[in-house]
C-alpha cells in the first residue's frame, strides 16, 4: 500500500489552504481531480482532491474521513489542476473557491457528471391529438403539446421546459392524464456538435492578412500574438484560417469574447465558415446546458468553444489555439470574488499547453502593446479596412459655441438630417442610460442622492423612478424638492432623453434605443441588433453596448454626444479608455462602400487629446500614453495590487487596512510602494464604507512575495471579521 494516504482537498471556503482527509473507510484514495464529499465543521461539503500526501500537520487522530468519493475517474486532469493552482497562486485567492469557479454549478453541488433528469415527451396518442381543438379550450396545454411535438420522441428536460414555458407544470397534468405525454428519467447525453453543412468559402486574404497568418503559422508551439487592426480590417478572417488549421488537426479551439449576447454575428459566421457548430458557454445558460457544454469540451467532442470570461476555465484536453477577441474589453476582468483577467489567464494557459494565442483588437491595451515592444508578444498589424472601405472622417463640435437642445447640437442635428436623407443609418452614442443623470431643485439646488451610496440618483422618466446605478436602489420620482418643496427638474442627458428628443425631431424615422434597460427582456438584444443590422432602424441610440463588434452595413454617421467625462478622469487609465471607446464606436461608421462620418461633441475642443486622436488615431494616443506611463511609473511599467475593504463603519474599513499595511512593512521588501489606506473614490456604496490600500512595484516577484504571506496572515486577523476584504491583482479599476 502506498504511503500517500492523505487527501489534500480544496473546499469552497474563503480560506487559502487545503484540507486534509482520509479516504472513506475501506477505499483507496481518490485520484487528484476527483470530487469527494467531506465533513466540514458541522456541514458536509463537496471538495476536489488536489493532491495526495503522506503526512499532515494534524495529529493522525484529528484527521477526519471523507464521507464518499463522488467520481470514479478524475473530473479534472493534471493540466486542469495545474491551471487551478496557477490561478489561485497568481490572484492570491483561496484554491477551493477557484475550483468552484472552474466547475459548472451542478458538479459543484455534487451531481453526477451524467445526471439523470426528468424528461417530458410526447406519446403516439399526443401526436394524433387535435391541437387546434385543444387550443380553443386549453391554450396552455396546446402550446406545451406543440413544443413537445417539435422536440420529438427524446422529449424536453424539465429545466429547459421551465425556460421556454414558465408555467408548464399546470398544463402538463391534464396532458399526462389524457396520455398525450409521458414523463421519465433519462441521462441526457452529448449530441455531436458537428453541423454537417459544408464550410462556406471566405474571401481571398489581402497581403497584410496573409503576412499575419504566415507569421503565426510559422512558429510552432507557444506564441502570443496581437492582431492589431482597425475595425473591419479582417481580423476575424485571420482567426478563421487559423481555426481551420487547428480543427483540421482534430484539435480544439477556444474563443473568448466579451459578451455573447453582443456577438451573434461572430457565432453564426464561425459556424457557417467552419462547418462546426460552436459550443457556447456564457452566464445565461441553464445549469444543465452549461454542464453539457462543459462535458463535451472536457471529453474533446466539442471542438470549437466560444465563451465569455469564465470559459477560460473549461477543460480542453486537445486545445490547439486560443483566440481572445476584443482583448481590450473590460468584461474579461472579473470584478468580484475571484478577480481574474480571462485574457491574462488565457495567455498563461496557452504557454503551459505550448500553443499559440491570438489577441485581437482595434484598440489594444497598453499592457499588451508594451509586451509587444519588449518582444514577449508579437504585434501583427492590419492597417486598413478589408474590402476597400475607407476610414471615417472625424469632426469636433464645440459645445461652448454651438446651440444645443436636449444635448444635441445644431451641427449634429444637421448631419443626422443629411445622412438620413441620403438613406444612411445614424448611431448616437452616450455612455449614460436613463433619462437624466441628475434631478435638481430649481429653487434651492438640492440634488437627489442615493441614501446608501455617495452618488446621485438617475432619473428614469418612463417608469417614474429615481434609480441608483451603483446599488440598484430605486424610489418614486420626486415631484417636488424633498428639501424645500419647490419644483424639481431633470438635468443632463441619458439615452432615454436622447431617444425622446430624436423622436420629436425625426418622427418619420424608426428609432431604436439599445442599452441595458431596453434589452432586459430575453432575446430583445438579438432582435434590436438584427433590426439595426438589416438597416430597418434608421437611428440607433445607445451606450457602449452598441460599440462592440457589430457590423451595421448601412451605418454612415456616428454622433458622440458627450465625450468629456473621460478627459479629466482621475484614473491613470482614463485617456486610454476614452480613446478606446471613441475609436470602437467610430469604427461602426462607413463599414461598406459609403464614407463614414464621426461627430464628437465636446466643450474642450482645444484639448490636445482630440488632435492627437484625430490626426494620429489610436496608435498615436497609445504611444503617447505609454511614454507618460513610463514617466509616471504606472502600469505596464509597474505592477499593482489593490487591497480593498468595506464595512458599515468607516473606522473598521480603515483599521483593517492599517493592519495590512503594518504586516507589509515588517517584511521590509525592496522596491515596493504602499499607498494608503485611503477612502475609495466612491467612499460609500450600498451602505458600506470603502477604503483601499495600493501596492505598487516594478518587480512583479517582490509584489507577489508580499501577497503570498499577507493573505494567510490577514485571514487570521480579528479585524478582518468586521470587514469585507479582497485582494485585486492587476486591478483595472482603482476603486
Ligand atoms: P474585423 O474582425 O477586423 O472587424 P472582419 O474579418 O469582420 O474584420 O472583416 C470585415 C469585413 O471585410 C467582413 O465583411 C469580411 O468578410 C470582409 N473581409 C475581410 N477580409 C477580406 C478580404 N481579404 N477581402 C475581402 N473582404 C474581406
Ligand atoms: Zn446607491
Closest ligand to residue 208's CA:
1
Give the three-state DSSP class for 592.
coil
Which of 329, 364, 387 finishes a domain? 387
507 lies in some domain = yes
The closest-lying atom of ligand 1 relative to the alpha carbon of residue 209 is 23
Please give the average per-residue pLDDT across 316-321, as a whole number.
Answer: 98
> Which ligand has its closest atom nearest to the C-alpha of 388?
1
Instruction: State how far the Cα of 398 lies from the Cα of 224, in Å rounded to an integer.
Output: 42
Residue 184 has pLDDT above 80, yes or no: yes
Same domain, 610 and 648: no
Residues 522 and 606 in one domain: yes
Could you tell me the CATH number of the domain that includes residue 683?
3.30.70.360
Q: Give the model confidence (pLDDT) of 368-393 as tens digits.
A: 999 999 999 999 999 988 877 788 89
Question: Among 88, 93, 13, which residue's Cα sits nearest to residue 643?
Answer: 93
Total domains present in the chain: 5
Q: What phi, psi does 650 have (nearest 5°)? A: -60, -40
Tell me which of 266, 274, 387 to substitute to probe ligand 1's pocket, judged by most ligand atoms within 8 Å of the beta carbon: 387
Residue 84 and residue 123 share a domain = no
Q: How far is the CA of 465 from the centre of ligand 2 (A)?
A: 14
Q: If you search the block for the grid coordinates 463522488, which residue do you land on?
A: 70
Q: CA triplet 162, 104, 65: central angle to 5 degrees?
A: 120
Condensed to tens digits (0 to 9), the pLDDT of residues 99-142 reads 999 999 999 999 999 888 888 999 988 988 888 888 888 888 99
CA neighbor of 273 nearest in space, from 246, 244, 310, 306: 244
Instruction: Decide which of 81 and 562 is more confident.
Output: 81
Residues 271-303: pLDDT tens digits? 999 989 999 998 888 898 899 999 999 999 999
Distance CA 470, CA 704 (A): 31
Smallest CA separation from ligand 1 atom 20, residue: 234
> Quick one: 220 and 360 in the same domain?
yes
pLDDT of 551 above 90: no
CATH code at 39? 3.40.1440.60
* Residue 193 clears pLDDT 70, i.e. is over it: no
Q: Do both 534 and 656 map to the same domain?
A: no
Query: 167 or 279, which is more confident?
Result: 279
Is the pLDDT confidence value at 547 over 60? yes
Res 189: pLDDT: 61
Rounded CA gap, 366 and 353, in Å?
25
Q: What is the maximal distance between C-alpha atoms in the chain?
A: 86
Q: How many residues does the chain have?
A: 735
β-pairing verdict for 425-429 and 474-476? unpaired
Task: Please give the distance, rounded to the nearest whole angstrom, from the Cα atom of residue 673 to the centre of ligand 2.
Answer: 33
301 alpha carbon to ligand 1 midpoint, in Å? 29
Q: CA–CA separation, 644 vs 298, rounded Å?
A: 36
- Do 508 and 533 lie in one domain? The reply is yes
Shared-domain flag, residues 77 and 152: no
Ligand 1 pocket test: pick from 386, 548, 555, 588 the residue with the most ligand atoms within 8 Å of its Cβ: 386
Which residue is it, cell 441620403? 422
Q: Is the alpha carbon torsion for 406, 412, 418, 421 positive or negative?
A: negative
217 and 362 both lie in a single domain:
yes
Q: Report pLDDT for 2.
A: 46
Which ligand 1 atom sits nearest the alpha carbon of residue 202? 16
- Kindly report, residue by residue over 495-532, the tens digit of the pLDDT: 999 999 999 999 999 999 999 888 887 778 888 888 88
DSSP, res 463: T
Q: 324 has which bridge partners?
A: 256, 359
Residue 370 CB less than 6 A away from ligand 1: no
Q: Which three cell numbers stand for residue 702?
A: 517582490
Of ligand 1's listed atoms, the one at least distance from the Cα of 240 is: 6
Residue 154 half-sphere exposure toward CB, CA atoms < 13 A: 6
Query: Is the residue at 422 inside a domain?
Result: yes
The answer to whether residue 373 is domain-embedded is yes
Residue 615 in domain: yes
Sheet containing 474-476, strands listed edge to edge, beginning at the edge strand earlier in sequence: 458-460, 465-467, 474-476
Atom of ligand 1 nearest to the CA of 204: 23
Q: Give distance in angstroms: CA of 212 to centre of ligand 1.
A: 14
Residue 481 lies in a domain: no
Residues 424 and 566 in one domain: yes
Give the pLDDT of residue 262: 64
Q: Which cell numbers in the block locate residue 72?
A: 470514479
237 close to ligand 1 (CB < 6 Angstrom): yes
Same-domain status, 224 and 330: yes
Specify the CATH number for the domain of residue 589.
3.40.50.300
| Residue 445 CB–ligand 1 contact under 6 Å | no
Mean pLDDT for 422-436 is: 94
HEC profile of 26-75: CCCCCCCCCEEEEEECCEEEEEEEEEEECCCCCCHHHCEECCEECCCCCC
Q: What is the pLDDT of residue 30?
A: 95
CB-CB contact of 555 with 424 (8 Å): yes
Please report which ligand is nearest the Cα atom of 458: 2
Nearest CA to ligand 1 atom 12: 386
Which atom of ligand 1 has the smallest separation from the CA of 230?
3
Least confident of 23-37, 260-274, 423-437, 465-479: 260-274
How far is ligand 2, taken at its centre, from the CA of residue 468, in Å?
5
CA of 232 to the centre of ligand 1 (A): 6
Distance between CA 663 and CA 650 in Å, rounded?
20
Rounded distance between C-alpha atoms, residue 407 and residue 450, angstroms: 25
Nearest to 523 by CA among 166, 284, 165, 281: 284
Last residue of a domain, one of 625, 650, 665: 625
End-to-end distance of the chain based on CA atoms, in angstroms?
Answer: 54
| Three-state secondary structure readout of 128-179 | HCCHHHHHHHCHHHHHHHHHHHHHCCCCEEHHHHHHHCCCHHHHHHHHHHHC
Say yes or no: CB of residue 45 within 6 Å of ligand 1: no
Kindly report the average pLDDT of the chain as a whole number. 92
Phi/psi of residue 104, each to 5°? -60, 150
Same-domain check for residues 683 and 711: yes
- Whether 202 is covered by a domain: the verdict is no
**DSSP designation for 341:** B
User: How many A from CA of 481 to the centre of ligand 2?
Assistant: 19
CA-CA distance, 634 to 572, in Å (whole number)?
Answer: 8
Pocket lining: 549 vs ligand 1, CB cutoff 6 Å: no
φ, ψ (nearest 5 deg) of residue 18? -100, 160
Residue 507 DSSP one-character state: T
Burial of residue 577, with CB atoms counted within 10 A of its CB: 0-12 exposed, 13-18 middle, 19 or more buried: middle
Q: Which residues are bridge partners to 466 per DSSP? A: 459, 475
Domain end (from 48, 79, 108): 108
pLDDT above 70: residue 191 = no
Are 49 and 30 spatial neighbours (Cβ–Cβ below 8 Å)?
yes
Indicate if the pLDDT at residue 1 is higher than 50: no
* Nearest one of 724, 286, 694, 681 to 455, comparing CA atoms: 681
Query: What percent of the chain has a predicted confidence (pLDDT) above 90?
Result: 73
What is the extent of the structural domain holding 504? 389-436+492-625
The x, y and z cell numbers of residue 423, run together, are 438613406
Q: Residue 288 falls within a domain, yes or no? A: yes
SS3 685: strand
- Ligand 1 pocket residue status of 425, Cβ below 6 Å: no
Q: Which atom of ligand 1 is nearest to the CA of 325?
A: 2
Assess if residue 683 is contained within a domain: yes
Mutation to probe ligand 1, out of 208, 237, 583 (largest number of atoms < 8 A from CB): 237
Q: For 194-249, write each residue's pLDDT tens digit.
A: 556 778 888 999 999 999 999 999 999 999 999 999 888 999 999 999 999 999 99
Please tell me whether residues 300 and 224 are part of one structural domain: yes
Our measurement of the distance from residue 99's CA atom to the centroid of its chain's CA atoms, rounded to an integer in Å, reads 19
Amino acid at each position: 500500500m502506498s504511503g500517500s494516504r492523505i487527501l489534500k482537498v480544496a473546499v469552497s471556503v474563503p480560506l487559502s489552504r487545503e484540507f486534509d482527509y482520509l479516504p472513506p473507510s475501506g477505499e483507496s484514495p481518490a485520484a487528484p481531480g476527483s470530487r469527494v464529499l467531506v465533513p466540514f465543521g458541522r456541514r458536509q461539503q463537496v471538495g476536489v482532491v488536489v493532491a495526495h500526501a503522506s503526512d499532515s500537520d494534524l495529529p493522525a487522530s484529528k484527521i477526519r474521513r471523507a464521507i464518499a468519493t463522488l467520481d470514479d475517474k478524475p473530473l479534472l486532469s493534471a493540466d486542469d489542476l495545474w491551471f487551478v493552482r496557477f490561478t489561485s497562486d497568481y490572484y492570491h485567492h483561496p484554491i477551493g473557491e477557484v475550483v468552484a469557479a472552474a466547475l459548472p454549478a451542478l458538479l459543484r453541488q455534487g451531481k453526477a457528471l451524467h445526471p439523470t433528469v426528468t424528461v417530458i415527451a410526447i406519446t403516439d396518442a399526443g401526436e394524433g391529438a387535435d391541437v387546434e381543438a385543444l387550443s380553443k379550450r386549453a391554450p396552455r396545454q396546446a402550446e406545451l403539446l406543440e413544443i413537445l411535438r417539435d422536440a420529438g420522441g427524446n422529449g424536453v428536460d424539465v429545466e429547459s421546459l421551465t425556460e421556454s414555458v414558465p408555467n408548464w407544470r399546470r398544463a402538463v397534468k391534464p396532458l399526462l392524464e389524457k396520455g398525450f405525454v409521458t414523463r421519465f428519467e433519462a441521462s441526457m447525453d452529448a449530441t455531436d456538435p458537428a453541423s454537417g453543412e459544408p464550410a462556406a468559402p471566405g474571401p481571398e486574404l489581402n497581403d497584410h492578412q496573409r503576412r499575419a497568418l504566415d507569421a503565426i503559422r510559422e512558429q510552432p508551439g507557444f506564441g502570443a500574438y496581437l492582431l492589431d487592426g482597425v475595425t473591419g480590417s479582417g481580423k476575424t478572417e485571420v482567426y478563421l484560417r487559423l481555426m481551420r488549421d487547428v480543427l483540421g488537426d482534430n484539435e480544439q479551439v477556444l474563443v473568448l469574447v466579451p459578451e455573447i449576447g453582443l456577438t451573434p454575428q461572430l457565432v453564426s459566421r464561425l459556424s457557417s465558415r467552419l462547418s462546426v457548430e460552436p459550443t457556447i458557454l456564457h452566464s445565461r445558460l441553464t445549469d444543465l446546458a452549461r454542464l453539457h457544454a462543459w462535458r463535451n469540451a472536457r471529453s474533446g467532442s466539442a471542438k470549437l468553444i466560444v465563451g465569455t470570461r469564465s470559459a477560460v476555465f473549461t477543460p480542453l484536453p486537445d486545445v490547439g489555439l486560443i483566440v481572445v477577441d476584443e482583448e481590450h474589453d473590460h468584461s474579461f476582468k472579473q470584478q468580484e470574488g475571484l478577480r481574474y483577467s480571462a485574457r491574462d489567464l488565457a495567455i498563461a494557459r496557452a504557454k503551459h499547453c505550448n500553443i499559440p494565442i491570438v489577441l485581437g483588437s482595434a484598440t489594444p491595451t497598453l499592457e499588451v502593446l508594451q509586451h509587444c515592444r519588449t518582444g514577449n508578444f508579437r504585434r501583427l498589424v492590419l492597417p486598413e479596412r478589408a474590402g476597400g472601405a475607407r476610414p471615417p472622417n472625424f469632426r469636433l463640435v464645440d459645445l461652448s459655441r454651438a446651440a444645443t437642445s436636449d444635448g444635441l447640437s445644431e451641427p449634429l442635428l444637421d448631419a443626422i438630417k443629411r445622412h438620413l436623407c441620403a438613406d444612411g443609418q445614424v448611431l448616437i452614442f452616450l455612455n449614460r442610460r436613463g433619462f437624466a443623470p441628475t434631478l435638481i431643485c430649481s429653487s434651492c439646488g438640492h440634488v437627489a442622492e442615493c441614501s446608501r451610496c455617495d452618488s446621485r440618483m438617475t432619473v428614469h422618466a418612463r417608469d417614474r423612478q429615481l434609480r441608483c446605478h451603483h446599488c440598484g436602489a430605486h424610489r418614486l420620482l420626486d415631484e417636488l424638492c424633498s428639501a424645500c418643496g419647490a419644483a424639481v427638474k431633470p438635468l443632463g442627458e441619458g439615452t432615454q432623453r436622447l431617444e425622446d428628443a430624436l423622436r420629436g425631431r425625426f418622427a418619420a424615422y424608426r428609432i431604436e434605443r439599445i442599452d441595458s434597460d431596453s434589452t432586459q427582456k430575453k432575446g430583445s438584444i438579438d432582435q434590436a441588433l438584427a433590426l439595426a443590422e438589416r438597416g430597418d432602424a434608421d437611428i440607433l441610440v445607445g451606450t457602449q453596448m452598441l460599440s462592440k463588434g457589430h457590423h451595421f452595413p448601412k451605418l454612415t454617421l456616428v454622433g458622440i454626444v458627450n465625450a468629456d467625462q473621460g478627459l479629466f478622469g482621475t484614473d491613470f487609465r482614463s485617456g486610454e479608455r476614452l480613446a478606446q471607446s471613441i475609436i470602437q464606436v467610430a469604427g461602426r461608421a462607413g463599414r461598406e462602400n459609403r464614407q463614414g462620418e464621426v461627430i464628437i461633441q465636446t466643450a474642450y475642443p482645444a484639448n490636445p487629446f482630440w488632435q492627437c486622436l484625430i490626426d494620429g488615431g489610436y496608435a498615436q494616443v497609445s504611444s503617447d500614453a505609454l511614454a507618460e506611463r513610463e514617466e509616471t511609473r504606472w502600469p505596464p511599467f509597474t505592477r499593482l495590487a489593490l487591497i480593498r475593504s468595506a464595512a458599515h463603519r468607516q473606522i473598521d474599513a480603515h483599521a483593517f487596512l492599517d493592519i495590512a499595511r503594518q504586516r507589509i512593512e515588517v517584511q521590509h521588501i525592496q522596491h515596493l510602494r504602499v499607498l494608503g489606506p485611503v477612502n475609495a473614490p466612491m467612499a460609500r456604496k450600498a451602505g458600506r464604507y470603502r477604503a483601499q490600500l495600493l501596492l505598487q512595484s516594478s518587480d512583479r516577484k517582490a509584489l507577489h512575495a508580499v501577497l503570498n504571506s499577507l493573505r494567510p496572515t490577514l485571514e487570521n486577523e480579528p479585524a478582518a471579521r468586521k470587514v469585507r476584504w479582497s485582494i485585486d491583482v492587476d486591478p483595472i479599476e482603482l476603486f
